[in-house]
Amino acid sequence: MEAFVTHTGTAAPLRRSNVDTDQIIPAEYLKRITRHGFEDGLFSSWRKDSDFVLNRSEYQGVSILVAGPDFGTGSSREHAVWALQDFGFKVVISSRYADIFRGNSGKGGLLTAVVDQSLVEQIWELIEADPATPVTVDLEAREVRVGDLVAPFEVDDYVRWRLMAGLDDIGITLQYADEISAFEATRPSYKPTTK
Amino acid sequence: MGRTLAEKVWEAHVVRQAEGEPDLLYIDLHLVHEVTSPQAFDGLRSAGRPVRRPDLTLATEDHNTPTIDIDKPIADPISRAQLEALRANCAEFGVPIYSLGNPEQGIVHVVGPQLGLTQPGMTVVCGDSHTSTHGAFGALAFGIGTSEVEHVLATQTLPLKPFKTMAITVEGELPVGVTAKDVTLAIIAKIGTGGGQGYVLEYRGSAIRGLSMEGRMTLCNMSIEAGARAGMVAPDETTFEYLKGRDHAPTGADWDAAVEWWSTLPSDADAVYDAEVFLDAATLSPFVTWGTNPGQGLPLSGNVPSPADAVDEVDRVAIEGALAYMDLTPGMPLRDIKVDTVFVGSCTNGRIEDLRAVADVLKGRKVAPSVRMLVVPGSVRVKKQAEAEGLNVIISEAGAEWREAGCSMCLAMNPDKLKPGERSASTSNRNFEGRQGPGGRTHLVSPAVAAATAVTGHLAAPADLASAS
């Protein structure tokens, strides 16, 4: 996984709450067995509308999505994270995320910054007033900077450390294989098996 | 200080604990289906890693599978490729699988419990958000993403930060005609789709203890729609009674040892929850959704809300958007909403008691000519049992379609879909835009309301039928 320390890019305002993962990528795109190439499915229903923010010329090439509260609710599909990344997003900013989506983002290297809704509103206004405004997301300092605005964000310490180091979870856990075996030896005989 | 059910199950599974790091939790059962697993198996293959415990892993095919003509090749080549990938992956890594056509095939969250694989005090995961269903047994069960699927396949563990706990207490007796589905829709409307974020919900109180295991599964299933990854009900005699004698339930001395441990799991009297919510069972009534998220629900006797009712600007935009998508007018009685499709099934309401409730209403009645009704059992076992009880005859004679087991119209990944502009009453779990097919509109309802709606052609409860006749 690529390490993430700081990122600067342009940002798109998505003025919607409860953006569920069925909207991020509908189920019809989930039949693929590959890990990449999901950008065509991202917000596919909304993108049919030429006025949708990601279709507008001034928001082409954006890498930061600034969304309303409760982003990523619903299905556990990690394809939602892959679709955002394949489209070019490195960061999502919202005041609240669904737990599974947030976990999936951390695994895949997509930063989900938790920013107060009042500051999200200010960021929306700035990037709507000037879509070319550079937005910097600094994971080390835990802040989003847009022009003169400095918005602190929350991120889990452990996830931050992993993202900054670009570490793979499975590799970390496999260092503890002996402890896993020791635990297994204590499991009671009444626990079921699938065989 | 006492401990909660969730804390007891958590603590019994900690492999490793270290300051500043997530706990490493052992996983007792890993359920797998075709949609969220191919990239995980690919990851193992490219890293040269085996599946650590294929004997604690079980795969079934459900999301993509058709519910008619299952003896013929699957028409959609992409769906077929995904099922073939699962079969090949399971063969390569030694994972047991119930494929289409197998008498144990069905929706992953119906299959685990009916086999007796889901037991109290276990940790259960699956690459599917409705894994919360298994919490009905007092298991800690939650959905995971594909990276985590790969992690569990490789290590049988997951690094996790402890959840907070929320007690949802429903005291009293549910009025006649009010089901677990109505209870869960009322809870989600009360706490919101984000209300459970970061929490494990524990459903408590006399109304919950009075629910059957299947009702408890419906309740826990929808926990994710309130934003919670998991929902739980403390194991009791109802739980033990359901499990005893099932294929994978313990027997003999193992059964006694298991029951002894399971009996220690309910939350201690002095346990403290991070949050508490109370509902009075007597105030509940059949509940339906009018909008595009499961929190946008009301009693069936209510009216479509207005943007003017919004609590804030974010809510106002959400109500306006939902009304536009659903093509509804503020103030319109919910009972006046006409549907053209009724879907009974899914991991929420595809079990035998759900089908009995539907047959009870349909018996001697006809589905309205303007309505297409699909009844889809949650598993092959459920289908066979329903047929042994003659439910399929009642359902077919009423004019509904009796189908093969699978996820069907819950999520538009198989041939069962709404067409643009169609409107359904559905016993499934999500009314998101396009969830049942692009442009489709969904009202979430209980099985009994689904059946009454099919008869009248508009949202209705069984009591409405009695008063009309």
CA angle B100, B104, B107 (to 5 degrees): 70
Residue segments in chain B with a per-residue pLDDT below the cut of 50:
469
pLDDT value at residue A112: 98
State the smallest CA–CA distance between residue A9 and chain B in angstroms: 26
Contact A74 B432 (CB under 8 A): yes
Q: Which residues of B touch A99 (CB under 8 A)?
A: 197-198, 227-229
State the smallest CA–CA distance between residue A173 and chain B in angstroms: 7
pLDDT value at residue B467: 61
Q: Which amino acid is at B349?
A: N
Instruction: Identify the bridge partners of residue A114 per DSSP, sorted by sequence position.
Output: A94, A154
Candidate from A33, A156, A174 with C-beta closest to B82: A33
Q: Which residues of A touch B433 (CB under 8 A)?
A: 22-23, 45
Contact B434 A22 (CB under 8 A): yes
Candidate from B119, B159, B413 with C-beta closest to A30: B413
Contact A104 B145 (CB under 8 A): yes
Residue of A nearest to B420 (CA): A45
Contact A179 B317 (CB under 8 A): no
Contact A192 B76 (CB under 8 A): no
Q: Which amino acid is at B69?
A: D
Indicate whether this model's pTM tops 0.90: yes
Q: Which residues of B touch A107 (CB under 8 A)?
A: 145, 147-148
Contact B438 A45 (CB under 8 A): yes
User: How far is the C-alpha of B268 from the C-alpha of B260, rounded, in Å?
Assistant: 16
Q: Distance from CA of residue B463 to its chain's centroid?
A: 26
Contacts 24+ apart (CB under 8 A), B433-440: B433/A22, B433/A23, B433/A45, B433/B292, B433/B325, B434/A22, B434/A23, B434/A26, B434/A45, B435/A22, B435/A27, B435/B410, B435/B411, B436/B343, B436/B409, B436/B410, B436/B411, B436/B412, B437/B409, B437/B412, B438/A26, B438/A45, B438/B412, B440/B412
Q: Which residues of B touch A73 (CB under 8 A)?
A: 193-194, 227, 293
Contacts of A179 (CB under 8 A, 6+ apart): B15, B16, B24
The pLDDT tens digits along chain A (195 residues) read: 788 999 999 999 999 999 999 999 999 999 999 989 999 999 999 999 999 999 999 999 999 999 999 999 999 999 999 999 999 999 999 999 999 999 999 998 999 999 999 999 999 999 999 999 999 999 999 999 999 999 999 999 999 999 999 888 898 999 999 999 999 999 999 999 999
Q: Distance from CA of residue B320 to its chain's centroid?
A: 28
Contact A99 B128 (CB under 8 A): no
| Residue in the structure block whose two tokens are 């835009």 | B433
Contact A179 B16 (CB under 8 A): yes
Residue of B nearest to A195 (CA): B55
User: How far is the C-alpha of B139 from the C-alpha of A140, rounded, in Å?
Assistant: 38
Q: Which residues of A touch B321 (CB under 8 A)?
A: 16
Contacts of B327 (CB under 8 A, 6+ apart): B441
Contact A22 B435 (CB under 8 A): yes
Closest CA to B163 of B190, B211, B123: B123
Residue of A nearest to B259 (CA): A190
Contact B151 A158 (CB under 8 A): no
pLDDT value at residue A2: 80
Pairing of strands B97-98, B57-60: parallel
Contacts of A122 (CB under 8 A, 6+ apart): A149, A151
Residue of B nearest to A44 (CA): B438
State the smallest CA–CA distance between residue B147 and chain A in angstroms: 6
pLDDT value at residue B468: 52
State the smallest CA–CA distance between residue A58 and chain B in angstroms: 24
State the smallest CA–CA distance between residue A87 and chain B in angstroms: 19
DSSP B248-311: TS--HHHHHHHHHHHTT-SPPTTB--SEEEEEEGGG---EEE-SSSTT-EEETTSB---GGG-S
How many beta-carbon pairs under 8 angstroms link A with B? 205
B284-313 pLDDT per residue, tens = 999 999 999 999 999 999 999 999 999 998
Q: Which residues of B touch A20 (CB under 8 A)?
A: 293, 430, 432
Q: Which residues of B touch A167 (CB under 8 A)?
A: none
DSSP A56-95: SGGGTT--EEEE-SSBTBS---THHHHHHHHHT--EEEES
Q: Which residues of A touch B47 (CB under 8 A)?
A: 170
Structure tokens at A138: 């600094």
Q: Which residues of A touch B36 (CB under 8 A)?
A: 76-78
Q: Which residues of A touch B78 (CB under 8 A)?
A: 31-32
User: How far is the C-alpha of A159 from the C-alpha of B61, rounded, in Å?
Assistant: 33
| Residue in the structure block whose two tokens are 């909207």 | A23
User: How far is the C-alpha of B77 from the C-alpha of B343, rounded, in Å?
Assistant: 25
Q: Which residues of B touch A100 (CB under 8 A)?
A: 129, 143-145, 224, 229
Contact B55 A69 (CB under 8 A): no
Residue of A nearest to B250 (CA): A190
Residue of B nearest to A78 (CA): B145
Structure tokens at A84: 């955002």
Contact B438 A26 (CB under 8 A): yes
Contact A76 B39 (CB under 8 A): no
DSSP B424-448: EEESSS---TTTTSTT-EEEE--HH
Contact B20 A78 (CB under 8 A): no
Q: Which residues of B touch A172 (CB under 8 A)?
A: 159
Query: For residue B451, what are the CA distances in angstroms to B338, B394, B425?
Result: 14, 12, 9
Structure tokens at A101: 């989506």
Residue of B nearest to A67 (CA): B314
User: How far is the C-alpha of B243 from the C-alpha of B235, rounded, in Å?
Assistant: 11
